[in-house]
Structure 1
Amino acid sequence: MADVNVAPSLLDDSIRKSKILVVGAGGIGCELLKNLVLSGFNDILVIDLDTIDVSNLNRQFLFQKEHVGKSKAVIARESALGFNPNVTIVAKHDSVMNSEYNVTFFKQFTVVMNALDNRAARSHVNRMCLAANVPLIESGTAGYLGQVTAIRKGLSECYDCNPKAGQKSFPGCTIRNTPSEPIHCIVWAKHLFNQLFGEADPDEDVSPDTADPEAAGDAGSVALQNQASEAGNVTRVSTRAWAQQSEYDPSKLFGKFFCDDIKYLLSMDKLWTKRTPPTPLSWDNIPEEISDQQGGLIKDQKVWSPAECVQAMVSSIKILYQRSKELNGEESFLVWDKDDEASMDFVTACSNLRSHVFSIPKKSRFDVKAMAGNIIPAIATTNAVIAGLIVFEAFKILEGKWEECRHVYLNSKPNALNKVIAPSSLDSANPKCYVCSPHPEVTVLLNVSQMTVQSFEDKVLRGALHMISPDVMVDDGKGTVLISSEEGETTENMSKSLSDFNISDGTRLRCEDFHQEYDLNITIIDREHLEENREFTVIADPSQLQPKAAVESSGPQPSTSSSKPAPSTRATESVEIDEDLDVIFQKGCANDDHQQEPSIRKRSISGQADIGSASKKLRLSENDIIEL
């Protein structure tokens, strides 16, 4: 391979002497390694715990079919050396969060470049770079969108300075009774797959929810007896057993889920006083609704008509039923797979039929796959552009020109200046950041009588706050040790509740993570009940905290909009964002103020939604917001 150096000539010496850490050898990481070796960087360490999957081959070009199952870091090193065999590349098949990769380890590098795909690792590397005072270049892609930003302690905001989108969740009654968005119907269709063919979960029931607090007092049970046809009257047996008895007759399945159950929902008339009521479908009269504008589109890009959905539903049911009959022993159920043709056809067809019933916009098979798989399809060209931008930012850092470093955004369409790549100046650190501010502090709302020490460590400290080895002391004047990173030292505390240690409303905890060299003060607020049945809520900015009396006296509020059903008292249905998605938080699009985008909501670290302007984030669709 010819020696190609795209770096500015004045930087040659700085580049040769620099030592680079690349964290992640996936979509962005492969492109980045290639760029680094062709730019003259001679000393590179790449770390990745992942192994190569066949689904990586279409965009992670350093990997070939024979590499499937092998270490990404190791194979990426071998392939990158083909571009320049004179470069020193060390590959580690390991997690960057392991204790051996401490602050001393990070201090040896000139620049750290993140090409990660999950929030916890991003946050951890951010803290390690802050502690080691080493520049970090963060990056992310989501479909056609991407971003690169440089981070340096004291000179710019850090990765944790801005809240990230929380886990998507929907009340069970919204999924079962009052869907208002395509994602609600897609989640329902995935639950239906599990009820019919997969591992059935009682919390994923797809039948109308009679415990919906909004429908209290309705004559739903009477309506069910009067209106349910023979095909749909399945109250005496489970959905799976009834479907097996009918040998998965598509017409009977259709009749129950898209006619009889819908009629039952209509009988719960309180649900529809401020909503558009659903319209039951008839097996004998399926509307076509085929648009001429879709004539040139391939199957995955078309939005199927109800008739086409029925055809796909029938064919997929036949295939899935046959597979289920062939199962035996421990494999007694099917597992939904976004890459399986029949599974995807089933969910696409059923979700769009339900969307039609509830007058919700239908989605193409491609869109359903992205939403049902909780991913945004990775695009090789986006990764390539972002990897190039990472190296350009590295050049500025090596020149010592931090004032020229930028947030750089790759947009899916040109902005007002006809640009798809839009830079903006780096923002200063958030003075209330719970990571990089001089005195990091958060408030945690929870029930001290119900929250155990073990749950507090696992879910709050490690899960929400991304600590690795936390030590916690109660600020009670006695120095009570609640949690110790030394194995076995506080084992007896783990099963006890926080209240057992006299932790109450207003108690302060001092937390230290020696591995991350990170200190945090936590104020505990005791709340008997939290919104949406949450177990806890973390608030980084105390000004967001509502008075306890106001929260407890407010109680559940009735729905006032067709798009916002009242919260259920039942368990919520969670839709998790896939951790394979390379995304980071977007602050703004430079020179993009004239794009007409509606205002949208972001979820703060407290879990409470607030309104943000369109210039602060990119909308991927009308249903899902990915904050880059």
Structure 2
Amino acid sequence: MVIPHLTENYGASRDPPEKQAPMCTVHSFPHNIDHCLTWARSEFDGLLEKTPSEVNKFLSNQTEYVSSMKNAGDAQARDQLERVLECLDKERPETFQDCVKWARMKFEDYFSNRVKQLTFTFPEDSATSTGAPFWSAPKRFPRPLKFSTSDPAHLQLVMAASILRAETFRIPVPEWAKNPKKLADVVSKVSLPDFEPKKDAKIVTDEKATSVSTASFDDAAIIDDLVAKLEVCAKKLPPGFRMNPIQFEKDDDTNYHMDFIAGLANMRARNYSIPEVDKLKAKFIAGRIIPAIATSTALATGLVCLELYKVLANGHKVEDFRNTFANLALPMFSMAEPVPPKVIKHQDMRWTVWDRWTIQGNITLRELLQWLKGKGLSAYSVSCGTSLLYNSMFPKHQERMDKKVVDLAIEVAKVVVPPYRRHVDVVVACEDDDGEDIDIPLISVYFR
């Protein structure tokens, strides 16, 4: 039961995290199709959603983005910048043929070169430090794939990858892209560089043995170099250039999302001699679909109706409602009272997650901070959506102090305010007089 001001909100409690395979298993030593699909889904998100989103963040506010990367100064920031630079420089396509070339080279990298590197680093007769065979169960020794335009699965994967790549760069997809014969002709003309395995390649074999990466002098120097290249690259881009991040949608059979993920997973399965799956089974696993039966649905519907009577009657206390946990397979039925929302106290004020603070008038950022100061709260961060309007750590943000909060939301966060909307919501992070963080309600600035 989730009832405003009476119970906790939906996000206050969470299900226990799902068991996940170690990343070294997923990346280098898969031994079932679930591992292959987890890897494929991760590659989809990285290539088609996260990296294009990072590119757009950089292009929207280069100064702020660069500053945050330099402040982080670690291997993760470096890796992020490298991917952004690849998208905008070496790998930025201008035609659909460029997208086909990228897809073909990805195939070679994923299913041939990486496997050759892995088996070069750990040959089939490798042994562990204890003398046991390295490639013992559950590890499977992989074999590289040789691309063939006569293999429908190879061609289907290149087709899906090319179309999605074109979509992220807003490049029109020609009619011939979906014609296997014509696509095969274009793919066969892609020239590939020879692969040479690296003798010093580092491949993680034990998740427990890895340590958390920390910032180093090398990382900082490389980040500075990447930033300089990015700034030069940004000047060469067409005016207003932005990428189109793609969010995974499993239920549209025409968007090529599942074709791409199933194709990646099945090619990886071929590398490791793992049985392949059809697109429907891949959708089930990658989309984390939990099948339901009619009796479960009927049970949930009946319980909802029982609680709905109480809601409609009004005047009921939290103790009158029930949360229900049921498992027909065991069977197990358990009912409990909902938990009231957490009450936060500060000076003579009280609030919960359901409350909102409202400010009338188109105030400036400085006036907002002063308004909070009057409540004994020191604000150090103001954000709108996913964008940061103000942070006390950034000296440049001091220049925004006399700008209207609504104008900043439109300018920085790209908020579109329809004519009927009279307010903009901002999230503010605050400390009390003792320097302790304190969660405050969402603030609505009414400017009309």
- Under a length normalisation based on structure 1, what TM-score does the superposition of the two structures give? 0.30
Structure 1 or 2: larger helix share? 2
